[in-house]
Chains A and B, each alone.
Chain A
């Protein structure tokens, strides 16, 4: 570049004077390629001047930026129709960005890399969004008038299927997390009798949520979303049909397998009857024990006791339940 020109010049000087100049001398004398045109280093082949200090063609002046020629009521959506990098010549705002130098201001917008780095929303002005909405309107239809409440939606569409789509920046569209399908349905919307309902809950175990009465089936074992959806629907169908069937071994259901507490036939009933029998006057010994038992069970105090114990066992220990139990025991034992 410039260095090679300088070296050629100085050597020619040196040869004529019979001495060679060093680097320091060159810089002191301030020899620049500009002075070399008199000695013409061009070997006439027409190569452009590589030094560039005095180009043969004058450099084209850049015109004034577009922001100077913008009218105030121009259509901004034409300037930024789509998402684009910040162009200082096209944005007529005197923005500054950056940490200021000491006793200075943030750098101006021309040549400001920070303004280029950040995402801008110049293409999303309210006017632009209105235009987008107008363009999308022909493709939209009204919401069905029959589905005006959540309850109506639940009634007509009890099964909800959820899946996720992923958008990312990269060369590949595929995301393995997009194959997951979650199916939720309320058991009350399925046609199940008591036995079927209990069997269904036993079959699905912790996929059933008692508070909301929803069954959730989560599938991600197949590689495609369509396959996972088909599998989830298949599981629901199989569960429904299986819970309606009664197998032979279901007759072996013991007290421990029961979902709720039943007072009839429990230890509590036996103990209460024993206590009451002992409390009765010992004179009536010839009576049929079966009839005595029925009579005892029919008493309202015993019924109350039964209700309170059932409530305690099924709902857990709360203030009310404990108070009720206390009242019932007091009545039963005539305290």
Chain B
């Protein structure tokens, strides 16, 4: 392609918007969506099914319950009024979640809980006893060292293991 897709989409969108502004009064600006469909009312919701699928508490309660029946998975002071750094902390959290998901593949029982106290990042994870403890300890040390070097701040990890995932209900 001569020009990248996003710039061509933006150009097309701008052209359409100009056409609609100049012409018909009832149509709003029609743009081009270049991402996959991603409805807000379907995010993080596992739909009701046959009744054989086990769900954890985190999966069973939908996002509108956050603050009512669910807590927050990530705790830091940047989301308070007039505090800086919210975007940086969020990006760090996203990276940490993907990293742990890959490092402890198949072992995670539930979402990660990330807490920050000063500049220390505490990663609290709930794991299934899939690997022998020695492997867990190795991966723990590996994660802590690598992430500490990466973020230039202490990263500590707390693992709790379960025999099997804690089921809240079946859908």
Report which A residues bind B (CB closer than 8 A).
59-60, 62, 83-85, 87-89, 98-99, 101, 107, 110-114, 116-119, 167-173, 175, 177
Q: Are A114 and B71 in contact (CB under 8 A)?
A: yes
Q: Does B160 contact A (CB under 8 A)?
A: yes
Chain B 19-63 near chain A by CB (<8 Å), digits 1 or 0: 000000000000000000000000000000000000011100100
Q: How far does the alpha carbon of A60 sit from the alpha carbon of B133 in the complex, in Å?
A: 9
Contact of A169 with B116 in the complex, beta carbons under 8 Å:
yes
Residues of B within 8 A of A113 (CB): 56-58, 110-111, 113, 126
At the interface, is chain A mostly helix, strand, loop or mixed? loop
Besides A168-B83, A168-B85, A169-B119, 4 more A-B contacts (Cβ < 8 Å) are: A85-B113, A85-B115, A101-B168, A169-B116
The answer to whether residues A169 and B111 also contact, given A62-B129, A107-B166, A118-B71 and a CB cut-off of 8 A, is no
Kindly list chain B residues whose C-beta atoms are within 8 Å of the C-beta of A170: 76-78, 85, 88-89, 116, 119
Report Cα–Cα, A107/B166, bound state, in Å: 9
Query: Given A167-B118, A168-B83, A170-B77, A84–B158 Cβ distance below 8 Å?
Result: yes
What separation, in Å, do the CA atoms of A119 and B122 have in the docked complex?
Answer: 12
CB distance from B163 to the nearest CB of A (A): 8
Cβ of A168: which chain B residues have Cβ within 8 Å of it?
A: 77-78, 83-85
Q: Which residues of B contact A87 (CB under 8 A)?
A: 158, 160
Q: Using CB atoms, name the residue of chain A closest to B152.
A: A171
Whole-angstrom CA separation of A107 from B119 in the bound complex? 32
**Given that A112-B57, A170-B76 are contacting pairs, would A99 and B119 also be in contact in the complex, using a CB cutoff of 8 Å?**
no
Contact of B138 with A by CB under 8 A: no
6 contacts between A and B (CB under 8 A): A85-B158, A111-B160, A112-B166, A117-B73, A168-B83, A170-B78
Q: How many A-B Cβ pairs are below 8 Å? A: 93
A60 to B166, Cβ gap below 8 A?
Answer: no
Q: Which residues of A contact B158 (CB under 8 A)?
A: 84-85, 87
Is B72 in contact with A111, judged by CB distance below 8 angstroms? no
Q: With the chains together, A113 CA to B89 CA distance in Å? A: 21
Residues on A with C-beta less than 8 A from B139 are none
A216 to B5 alpha-carbon distance, docked (Å): 58
Give B71's nearest chain A residue, CB to CB.
A117
Q: Which residues of A contact B70 (CB under 8 A)?
A: 114
Residues of A within 8 A of B160 (CB): 87-89, 111, 116
C-alpha gap A44/B115 in the complex (Å): 47
B153 contacts which chain A residues (CB < 8 A)? 171
Query: Chain A: which residue is nearest B74 at the CB level?
Result: A117
Q: What's the minimum C-beta distance from A264 to chain B, rounded to whole angstroms?
A: 54
Q: How far is the CB of A281 from chain B (nearest CB, A)?
A: 77
Residue B140 CB within 8 A of the other chain: no
Query: How far apart sit A116 and B71, CA to CA, in the bound complex (Å)?
Result: 10
